[in-house]
Amino acid sequence: MKRSMIALAGLTVAAVMQAPAFAEVAPAPPTQPADISHAKSCEDVSMSVYFSAYESMLSSYSMRAVNAASDRLAGCAVTEINAEVVSEEAHDDEDLADLSEARAQAVLDAFNARGIQAREVHTDISPKVDVAMPAGTNAPLARRVDIVLTAQPGYGL
């Protein structure tokens, strides 16, 4: 009885070893580490920064938008910045013209603080009202700085 159990165990092991799953050997792992480089896409960023009425200070939401755009451009060379002020308060009044200039400067300073600078900076603060908004509308969408950051891959990336 003991001999028959040993023989049966031997036959079972032999049958299992001849199964196709055990016959194939997995390939050896590669000897060199994989090189998975991160390809940075430096696409232009276009955004609008909104302001409260008669204010030139950035809100916390606007700062988060500037920070997100700056993070997107990390490692890229910004070659050109275009800032255009759209203001519902756009009049011939000198104080309101200064408000438009202060809004544009606040946005540029926020990007500058995050390390986003360019050789060419174009600012359009000429009085204009958003043509999509009806005249006399007091809407926050008409108090903004539209900004376009032109980017390209930086050196050494």
For 91-127, write each residue's pLDDT tens digit.
566 777 788 889 999 999 999 999 888 888 888 877 6
CATH fold label, 45-153:
60s Ribosomal Protein L30; Chain: A; (3.30.1330)
For 41-54, write each residue's pLDDT tens digit.
788 999 999 988 88
Q: Quick check: helix, strand or coil at residue 24? A: coil
DSSP 53-112: TT--SPPHHHHHHHHHHHHHTTTEEEEEEEEEEE-TT-SS-HHHHHHHHHHHHHHHHHHH
- For the entire predicted model, the pTM comes to 0.66
> What are the structural domain ranges in the chain?
45-153
